[in-house]
Structures are given as C-alpha cells and as structure tokens.
Amino acid sequence: MQVLTALHTDVGIRKQTNQDSLLLKVAQTSVGKVVLAVVCDGMGGLEKGELASATVISAFSKWFDNDLPPLLQNHNWNEIQARWNLLLKEQNQRIGEYGKRLNINLGTTFSGLLIIDEHFFLIGHVGDTRVYKIDSKLELLTEDQTLVNREVQRKNLTPEQAEKDPRRNVLLQCLGASRVVEPQFISGIPTLHTVFMLCSDGFRHMISKEEIYQAFAPEKLMTEQQMKNKAIELVELNKVRNETDNISIILIKVD
Amino acid sequence: MASMNRIIDNKYEILRMIGQGGMSKVYLAMDSRLNKQWAIKEISRINKNGFSEVNLKAALDEADMMKRLDHPALPRIVDIIQEKDVIYVVMDYIEGEPLSKLLENGNAQPQEQVIEWAKQLCNVLDYLHTCNPPIIYRDMKPGNIMLKPDGQLKLIDFGIAREYKENKVGDTVNLGTRGYAAPEQFGSHGQTDARTDIYCLGMTLYHLVTGRSPAEEPYGGVPIRELNPILSSGLEKIILKCTEANPNDRYQSCAELLYDLERYDEVDDTYRQNQKKKLKRFGIVSAAAVFSIVFGAFAQVMNAQKVNNDYEVNLDLGDTATTQEQKINYYEKAIDIKPEKHEAYYALLTTFKDDASFQIEEEQILKKKINRNLAELVETDHYSDLAYEIGKTYWYYYDYGSENTDDNQLTRIKAAKTWFSDVVEDPENEHYAQAKIYESIATFHEEVNLKVEEASDQGMYKEYWDNIEALLDFTIENKNESEIVKLEVYKLITNALENEVRKFASDGIEKDDLLEVFYTVRSLVDELDVSTDKTINLKESITSRFDEVVKAIDTAFIEQ
C-alpha cells in the first residue's frame, strides 16, 4: 500500500494560543504500512487547553511506539479498539484529576485514525473533531458529540439552525471533563484510492462540503507537496472568512 | 494575593481558602474585633495566569449594589475593601454544604424536599428580579446553593466577576460546566432576564429530583418521570415549562412559578382525573334529574300502549316468572325481538342449568335460537364471553347420553369443544387461557382413540396431564365455582388417573406428581359440602374410585 500524508495547523486570527494538537506517524512494518493520525482540540482557557490536547497526543504517540508492535506481530487487530477505549478512559481520568486539583476546567476532544495497510482501519472519536472519508464523494464518518447535534437528532433543531446556534461549541463528551467517556469507534478494511481527512472544528465552519471535496478529491492529490499546498489553501480560506478558532487538518491518501 | 495568616484592613485574619474560581478566591477570615468569622472574596485584577481580565470598576459597582440587598437566602455584604489591583468583599460565612455535595454519586433528593427548596429559591429569585433595577442571578446550580444546618438555603457565589462572562464566544466548552445554562446564555447576542434564572432553576430542580446532572446522558432533555416514573406529573410539568428553549414558553415570572409549585399536586394527572371524575359524577346526577322530568312526561304518553313486545320487558318478565317453562318462554321472545343482544341468552342458559342439568329438549331450544342468529352474534362485541358460557354449560351440564351409561362426560366435553374454539379465536377474552385448556382436553378426547389405534398416541398424555393440572389450578382459584363444576373437574381427574395412569407414566410424568395431584383432589372432594341429590351421588361415585386410583398408580409404576 502506498501512503501519502500532509498536515497543517494554524493558531487562527483571534486566539493567543493554539490548543489543537496533532499526531501523524507512518511506519513500515512486517505487515505493511501502518499509519496513526490524531487530532485533539483542547479547551480550558489559556495554556491549559494545549496541555490537555498535548497530553493525549503524547499518550497515543507512546502507544504507537511501545504497545502497537506486539499487536501487529500477532495480527491482533480486533484487540486494538479495547486498548484505545482503555487508553481514552485513562486520559479522561488523568486530565480530570489534574483539573480538579487545580480547580480548573480543561479537556480535549479526540479523533484518531489507525490504518494497518490493507488489513484494517480503526477510528476512535470523542467530541467534535471529525474524520472524513473522500473517494467518489465526501463522507463524514464520525458523529459530533455536541449539544446541537443532539438537538438535531431530537428534531428540536434543523441542521441549518444547528450551524448558526450559539451553543454549537458545547460538547457533550470530552476527555478530562466527562464523568464517563463513551468514545465512538468505527473499524473496517480500508479501500484504496481514498483520502482520509481529520480536522478540528475550526476547519469546517466557514467552508462548504463542496469546497472540501473539490480540494481533496483523490485524483487531485498526487504528491505530498500538493496535499500540503491544498491544506494551507483551505486553512487560509477559513481565515479570510473570519474563522476565529484554531484550525487544524491531517490528510492521508492510501493507494 | 492574600496569604494565610495575613491580616486585611487591620482586622480580618485570613484562616484558609475555602473556594476558588478563575478570577477570584474565597477565604475564611476571622474578624479580630468582633471575634466573628466572615467569608472574604478576593477579586484580583491580575489573575493567576497573569492576564488582566477583570474590570475592577465593574466588580466594585456590582458589590456596591449587592451591599443593599437584604434577604434571608442571600449572604450579606458587610464590607468592601479596595486596594491596588485587588478588591476584598467581606460577607457572611455560610456554614453547611452545597447541594451539589448531596448529589454526589447520583443521589436523587426526596421530591417533597425538592419542592420545599424550589419554593425557597423561587422566593429569593423573585426578590432579586423585583429589585430596581432587576438583578439576574444567571448562575443557579446545585454548587451555588448552600444548605445550612437549620435546613434553610442560601445562594452563594453571587454575581461578582462570574467566570462564564469571560468565556469568549466561539470557544469550545464542555457541557459539564454549562449544563444548567439557558440557551440564551450561549453566544454573544443572548439577552438574559428573569426567565433565564427560571430556566437554570428548572435544570437545578431536574438534577435534584432525578440525581442526574443535566451534563450527563440524557442531558436534561427528558421529562423527569422517564427517569423515575413515581415522581409527580405536576412537578414534571413545572420543570418542563421552566426549561422550555424559548423564554416566551417558560414561566414569565417567579411569582407564576411559585403559584404552581404550591399547587404541584393539583397539576398532577391523578388530581385532574379525580376532578374530572367529580365533574362527571355531577354531570350524571344532573342528567339523571333532567331525564326523570322528561321521562315522567314521556311515561304518561306511553302508558296506554302495550309494552309486551319490548325486549327489556320480556327479560324482566322472565326474571320474575316462577316456572321454568314460563321463564324460557319469555327469554325466547326477548331473543326474537333483539337476537343480537346477549342478555337473554345468558338468562336462558342460567335457567337451563337451574336443575343442574342441561337437557336434550333444552339444548334443542338453545340451538334453535342460537343457530338462527349465530352469524349475527359472532360479529357482536363480547360474543366470546357468551361462547365461553355456552361451552361450560355443555361441558358440565349437558345431559345427552346419560340415560344409557353412567358417565357421559366425554360426550359433554366433545359437544362443548366448538364453543371453546370460538373463545380461543379472541385472545382478548378474559377466559382465553381457560378456554384453551378446555379445548385442548376436548381435542385429546376426540383424537386419543384414533391415535391409540394408530399406535401414535405417545406424547399426547403429557400435554393432556398438563392441561388437567391447569384446569385443576384455576378451578381451585375460582372459589365461587358451582359444586357441579368442581365435582366434574375432580371426576375428570380421578378418571384420568385411574384409566390413563400407565400412559402418563410412559410419557415421563413422575409418580410423585400424579400422587400429589391425586391427594389434592381427594382432600378437595372430602372437604366439599354437597347439597343436591345429583352432587351427593356425584361425590359418592368419585370417592368410591379413590382406592382404585391409588392401586392403579402403584401398579403402573411397579410395572415400570
């Protein structure tokens, strides 16, 4: 399997700090190419949001280096979800206790994608960062764990109203501030000629689905440089349109 | 920052920190002159992250305004001390614990208690809202309500430099910190007013009475009785109205809310139903009064006319007639007038059973009336009840064939079957289960001889036995059953035990089971007081078989 990747993050036009944290790891292993990509959008005011998102990124980085290789050796794909679940709950606990000790509220979202060559992929998800799949169309794989999404499902809001609702930034679930985290998991077998996109919510409020698809359709991304350029282009477009949040994106193309 | 043991303004000695927010800290302090404890809120322009975010002038204005408030559920502000870059607000130190502490681990609070608290909170909010200018609390939540040892509540963390104000629009937040907030408190354009406090109070009540934080599944969005059905529907309605997304749909003032809280049980569905019932009863009585007047006039007109064609009249005449023939005669007439009505059939059946036997001539009458109208009857409501009654009449009382042999039980059972089959068509019928058993027993008797000849009868007996046991069970349950019915059931069982015991054994029924049922039947027969010749004979004939039954059971299992 061939893998092309790119990532870009920007503090945005308003904020003093970038609380988004990203992780992108690619390894050549005995079972083929393995890719881990994670986007975390931290919150909690000032530098604390960064701390929360970076803590989770660092935990997953360590997991990739230390705990994943034996699982790969034994082809234990199906065990990975349980490990992630445990890892996320542990992070929720740790960040939550830290916040309690300092009497502050901090936390982070989490959207992670693991691809094990053509054998397996796993998505884990908490909060409102997102994972999209782009092949012949743009498809949102994760479900926002937000108040407005909940209201849309309860038919109290239309999706259009939800976009404009002042509560659109209110999360139902996040690592560090939820009593019980219930991550969403999706797994399967990756299809080739596909682009996976992970992004923070700052990336998607101001640009349309069509614009995303036009920029990142698989046939348009032939080199990593092209991918990086397109990513920067859309992040800049967001800023021009007055997005105030931090903006982050990871692109992974598998062929 | 005030450090421990520091003395502020020469009289307040800082003892310890008792609370901390992003922009402020609260200390317990000792007033050295009065020898009294106070809480001191420290609002610093330089917060702990080194960013200047608090407008000290605004905080000072607010403290000045609050100083004038006087309500038992609000802490008094007794002093305001201004230093460079910091303000100290000295207020009542409130002993007790916040309601959030009581809610830890999801402990729901008793409904009556929550209502009482709700009234207190409503009262203090009303006080604030009717100040001039009105004061909106905006941060009602269990963590901000102190329960004092005397059971009274006090609101704490009052409005100065409240943190969420500093929340920037568009920042991602977790619901955990905002679960009680009203929709209009999010974003920059929201106008908050008294109805905002009502929303937050509603969410607080939701949490108190269900034990579920609105920041947890199902996020405060469901009626409280979906979480706990025993809660009052009146309180449910109150909370739903408080937490409407649109402020216009909520209570518009605390006075309105307080009115409903004081009558929450009257808002209850049960209360309303009772009221409705009362109204209905009143309606019936009034209607009856009007009817009497009208009917009185009507009756005068009708008096001269012959009324013996009337269905009801024939029924009444039948009820009061003294001989069987007369009764039957009137009921037949009634049936002819209104063949779709059931009463006359029931009356006819009762008359037939009066002498404890449903004779062949009687059956002819019934058949004549029923068969002619059956197509119509089947379509009527509760037809299955009538079918059940007819079925039982055949099963227990039918006389056909009794002159030739001692026992016509099988004839009766088979004749009854078709009626029970009709009942089984209607699963709503209250006798559905019994009808099914009767039908199964009848089916067994219809098929068993043939199956024996085919030698394919194995397995039938187990089912038959189960049905017999069930029949016995509901006969025991129904204490009002007539002597005949009881005795017939006992006879059926005794016969089955005597004649089919080997088959039962070979179908795997345990000896103990058979004996247990037999002993039950035997004691039931012994206990039963019989009053007519027929039942006396019946009882005797059953009792006379007991020894044979015991022998039959013993031999059946010895052979095995």
Domain boundaries defined on chain A: 3-254
Given this model, what pLDDT does residue B34 score? Answer: 86
Tell me the chain A residues in contact with residue B17 when contact means C-beta distances shorter than 8 Å: none
Chain B nearest CA to A108, separation (Å): 9
- Residue B198 contacts residue B251 (beta carbons within 8 Å): yes
Q: Splitting chain A (255 residues) into consecutive groups of 10 residues, what average pLDDT does each group show?
A: 96 90 95 96 78 95 95 90 96 91 86 96 96 96 92 87 84 87 94 96 93 95 95 96 94 96
Given this model, what pLDDT does residue A48 score? Answer: 81
Inter-chain residue contact A45 with B22, CB threshold 8 Å: yes
Given this model, what pLDDT does residue B162 score? Answer: 45
Indicate which of A17, A19, A167, A247 best probes the interface with B, i.e. most B CBs within 10 Å of its own CB: A167
Greater pLDDT, A128 or B178: A128
Cα separation, A251 vs A218, whole angstroms: 11
Least reliable range by pLDDT among B134-143, B202-211, B445-454, B521-530: B445-454
Given this model, what pLDDT does residue A67 score? Answer: 93
Catalytic residues of B, by residue number, are 139
Cα separation, B462 vs A255, whole angstroms: 67
Q: In the 8-state DSSP scheme, what is residue A123?
A: E
Residue B77 pairs in a beta bridge with B91
What is the average pLDDT value for chain B, to the nearest integer?
Answer: 82
Greater pLDDT, B121 or A151: B121
Percent of chain B with pLDDT over 70: 85
Tell me the CA distances in angstroms from A161 to A158, B257, B341, B527, one per residue in order: 5, 30, 60, 77
Inter-chain residue contact B175 with A166, CB threshold 8 Å: no
B170 reaches A (C-beta below 8 A)? yes
Cα separation, B96 vs B99, whole angstroms: 9
**At which residue do the structure tokens 């975390």 appear?**
A40
- Residue B124 contacts residue B111 (beta carbons within 8 Å): no
Cα separation, A35 vs B398, whole angstroms: 85
Closest CA to A40 of A174, A236, A208: A174
pLDDT greater than 70 at residue B4: no
Given this model, what pLDDT does residue B545 score? Answer: 87
B191 reaches A (C-beta below 8 A)? no
Give pLDDT tens digits for B378-405: 888 888 889 998 998 888 888 776 655 5
B214, closest residue in chain A (CA to CA): A172
> Average pLDDT for residues B465-472, to the nearest whole number?
89
Question: What does CATH list as the number for B7-92?
Answer: 3.30.200.20
Cβ neighbours of residue B256 closer than 8 Å, sequence gap 6 or more: none
pLDDT greater than 60 at residue B418: yes
Partner-chain residue, chosen from B21, B186, B245, that has the shortest CB–CB distance to A170: B186
pLDDT greater than 70 at residue B300: no
> Average pLDDT for residues B245-270, to the nearest whole number?
86
Given this model, what pLDDT does residue B307 score? Answer: 47
| Greatest alpha-carbon span in chain B | 120
Chain A nearest CA to B174, separation (Å): 5
What is the average pLDDT value for chain A, to the nearest integer?
Answer: 92
Cβ neighbours of residue B277 closer than 8 Å, sequence gap 6 or more: none
Chain A nearest CA to B157, separation (Å): 15
Give pLDDT tens digits for B541-558: 888 888 888 888 888 887
Partner-chain residue, chosen from A46, A104, A170, that has the shortest CB–CB distance to B175: A170
**Alpha-helical segments (H) within B164-310:** 175-178, 194-210, 224-227, 233-242, 254-262, 264-267, 269-302
Backbone dihedral region for residue A113 (phi beyond 0: left; psi -120 to 50: alpha; all else: beta): beta
Kindly state which CATH superfamily the domain A3-254 is placed in.
PPM-type phosphatase domain (3.60.40.10)
Give pLDDT tens digits for B324-356: 888 888 888 888 888 888 888 998 888 888 877
This model of the complex carries an ipTM of 0.74
B508 reaches A (C-beta below 8 A)? no
Q: Is B25 marked within a binding site?
A: no
Tell me the chain A residues in contact with residue B188 when contact means C-beta distances shorter than 8 Å: 166
Given this model, what pLDDT does residue B304 score? Answer: 42
pLDDT interval class at B177 (50, 70, 90): low
Give pLDDT tens digits for A111-132: 999 999 999 999 999 999 999 9
Indicate which of B47, B48, B172 best probes the interface with A, i.e. most A CBs within 10 Å of its own CB: B172
Give pLDDT tens digits for B60-111: 777 787 788 889 999 888 888 888 888 888 988 888 889 999 988 778 999 9
Chain B nearest CA to A113, separation (Å): 22
Give burial (CB, 10 Å; 0-12/13-18/19+) of A19: buried
Closest CA to A196 of A119, A122, A246: A122
Chain B nearest CA to A178, separation (Å): 7
Give pLDDT tens digits for B475-505: 888 888 888 888 888 988 988 888 888 888 8
B246 reaches A (C-beta below 8 A)? no
Inter-chain residue contact A46 with B51, CB threshold 8 Å: yes
A244, closest residue in chain B (CA to CA): B170
Kindly state which CATH superfamily the domain B97-166+174-267 is placed in.
Transferase(Phosphotransferase) domain 1 (1.10.510.10)
Three-state SS at B469: helix
Partner-chain residue, chosen from B20, B171, B216, that has the shortest CB–CB distance to A43: B171
Tell me the chain B residues in contact with residue A171 when contact means C-beta distances shorter than 8 Å: 172-175
